[in-house]
Amino acid sequence: MPEILTKHPEIVADILNRTKRVRCGKGDIPEILTQCPAHQFCVVPDIGEFCIYGEDQLSKMTQIKRTKICRRSCSLCGKKGHIRSNRKFHPL
């Protein structure tokens, strides 16, 4: 099940809740993502579950490591620099 990293997890959860198919922060019990904060845990019935993490929660993610996201130095890793986005490097 995926983990999502975004600058605004509460906005993403709100948008997904509006779809009426996805439930985020509604008290569902995780089967796989047991470390996901309850208010950021989402379920798509009959499909699966996912967790929405904020950029300040990168170290709490269980399925991806900082080194995978920050192959070059970046502010998410506590360093100044750039993060890869599409085909270019953009300053953070």
Q: 38-89 pLDDT, tens per residue?
A: 999 999 999 999 999 998 998 899 888 777 777 655 666 665 544 444 444 4
Q: Which CA distances in Å does 73 have to 4, 52, 67, 76, 90? A: 20, 23, 9, 8, 12
Beta-ladder partners of 32 = none
pLDDT value at position 11? 95
The answer to whether the pTM exceeds 0.75 is no
Of 59, 63, 81, 85, nearest in space to 72 by CA: 81
Q: Rounded to an integer, what distance in angstroms lies between the CA atom of residue 43 and that of residue 67?
A: 28
pLDDT value at position 77? 65
pLDDT value at position 89? 42
pLDDT at 35 over 80: yes
Residue 33 near residue 3, CB atoms below 8 Å = yes
